[in-house]
Structure 1
């Protein structure tokens, strides 16, 4: 697959919308706007294709949406997940069905595909381009890049993920020292496992963290985990040592990580992750994906919620561009709709996130849920949405 066409070094064109961040939220928004004939420019600091720290599980709630925007899911021979396993740090496990289920698809493949589709529909994709500033004056935005180029747009959307330099530039409230809380580190690798159960998502707890495993194409298993950063610091900032001393205390998780260590698999690591509440609009920039509210893995999955937000925002952007609503109405309606659609799922994910990684709580929780399967159904429904 070839890379999408790179953008020019600068532009005098007034775009309808500039999107900063080329993950699934930003890319699906760019693709929808481009399919509607709108002039859209997207900035991604990396160059496609590349790997991201991500669980790579897509809830089936997104299936119809992805097909409508041109992703040929039926032709991609993707693993389908219909079962769920969760374990406590001691290895006590619960097995349950997934009513809605999901697909496994790597970000390496999905992001590249979405970028190519958006470019084919006329979107300008600026990959390898870091945005350094976004300013709003006279009813339009000026976007500045590290290379010295500038772009103008009527609308600007922030899809830059969990943290970026632009959060500080926009003086976003969640960065205030008074809101400081726990910080986490996230790690991802792909494993070649011969014994991983088919059609299953597994979630294994360890002290102050949890690890998810799920199949992706190519016979691989995505292994992604999140840990309180204190675990890493306590073991000399060594991921391998933290895994040996903390994660491998869970007997169900241990064989998977031992296999990773035997094969010398190199993980991707990101740090400084927080789960503080964020705003959906700052300085007239409309936020989506993790930029609108860092999504705990236990909220269902960030990919699904990012795409869902892009679908919601796309309709409102088109109303604004058609002159049917004002900028103030756009911002108010998006904030209200985002909260109604996604805020509850993010809050539920944060609450479960606080329980997971607590040894006695998760052990007790697994024992209770094994006796009350309807409660497991209820919790799974909290973390999954409806097709749209």
Structure 2
């Protein structure tokens, strides 16, 4: 029987959280293996807007998104189902960059730092005597002191671990497309329609990202995506104009189903969960990418302390990660859930918008409830 390869840290999932962990840990000389089922580059269903709060941390990782075409964004626009519009300045600002580009940039930086990236799928995880034993679909075996779960919104590993949220129905569907058209480069817009909302913002190469989320029960009443858009999405006049006056760059829109916003645990079966695997904020809040990146910073700093201290305990590592994760994100998630719940009721949403149009200074205050301050290094 072949002896398993050993690593200091093994990361399952190569999205933003997984890649940032790989860069951070390998930067300090740790032997890191990241296992990702897909290759790079790859498009993903994602809003592709990132709050500027992560820029200090990305600089620490030696990654400057503006070197790769990221677009600066400082204006926000919101419309409700009755086509009323309100605009405001973003309190901190952000930038737009596609996952196609950003994930590939981060993967190259991880490899440059001597992290190993393996295209494979983890099928089994065992934890015995303070060591993880990992098996993959391609019959490869590994051991590691630490395993980071960064496998996204919903994974077969979630099912295997019988995580609480996976037992509940996930009623949301996400759809994304890139287009060419006219849209202010410094603007991110959120347009509501019955049963959902669509984010619009620019990414690199003069490309516009259109990404919407809807309740699956609303979607299944129609024959296909085109039919749904024509009869539901386009009731919002801003979205109708955006879709009809632009040129699609994908042959078919990308979609993802069974999106869950249920509460998750930041540590599960001794795995340190990062990004969407630890908790997912409603896309309405536009801060999921920033949270994924910041969760990697929290995890990596604690893991480095644990690996470098012979007297460190796993129990302390796990408790401290849960504490810091909750401190950074628990309020944001609650605020995001509450805001999304209000906007699901279009009558309430329209009433709120009337208030915000009269008191526009409240918009930055609301946005700040789901965003953080620039990350301290």
Structure-1-length-normalised TM-score:
0.93
Task: Tell me how far 1:356 sits from its aligned partner.
Answer: 2.1
Residue deviations 1:128-168, cap 9 Å, x none? x1111111112111111111111111111111111000001
1:84 aligns with 2:76: yes
3-state DSSP of counterpart to 1:205: strand
Of 346, 360, 363, which aligns to 1:373?
360
Count of aligned positions: 373
Structure-2-length-normalised TM-score:
0.95
Partner of 1:5: none
Matches within 5 A, 1:167-178: 167-176=158-167
Partner of 1:118: 110
Task: Tell me how far 1:299 sits from its aligned partner.
Answer: 3.5
Q: Distance in 1 between matches of 2:166 and 2:207?
A: 37
Q: Distance in 1 between matches of 2:89 and 2:139?
A: 52
3-state DSSP of counterpart to 2:238: coil
Contact preservation (8 Å) 2:165, 2:260: no
Contact preservation (8 Å) 1:213, 1:223: yes
Distance 1:11 1:229, change over 3 A: farther
Matches within 5 A, 1:283-294: 283-294=269-280
Partner of 1:356: 343
3-state DSSP of counterpart to 1:252: helix
Task: Tell me how far 1:334 sits from its aligned partner.
Answer: 0.5
C-alpha RMSD of matched pairs (Å): 1.6
1:267 aligns with 2:267: no
Residue deviations 1:27-76, cap 9 Å, x none? 00110000010011001110111101111111111112111211133433
3-state DSSP of counterpart to 2:11: strand
Matches within 5 A, 1:10-49: 12-49=4-41
Contact preservation (8 Å) 1:298, 1:383: no
Distance 1:225 1:95, change over 3 A: same
Partner of 2:320: 333
Of 122, 141, 145, which aligns to 1:131?
122
1:383 aligns with 2:361: no
Q: Distance in 2 between matches of 1:284 and 1:190?
A: 39
Contact preservation (8 Å) 1:298, 1:350: no
Contact preservation (8 Å) 1:189, 1:265: no
Of 330, 342, 347, which aligns to 1:343?
330
Partner of 2:95: 103
Q: Distance in 1 between matches of 2:46 and 2:330?
A: 20
Q: Distance in 2 between matches of 1:95 and 1:139?
A: 53
Q: Distance in 2 between matches of 1:239 and 1:262?
A: 14
Q: Distance in 2 between matches of 1:325 and 1:205?
A: 49
Q: Distance in 2 between matches of 1:262 and 1:173?
A: 38
Partner of 1:227: 214
Task: Tell me how far 1:12 sits from its aligned partner.
Answer: 3.2
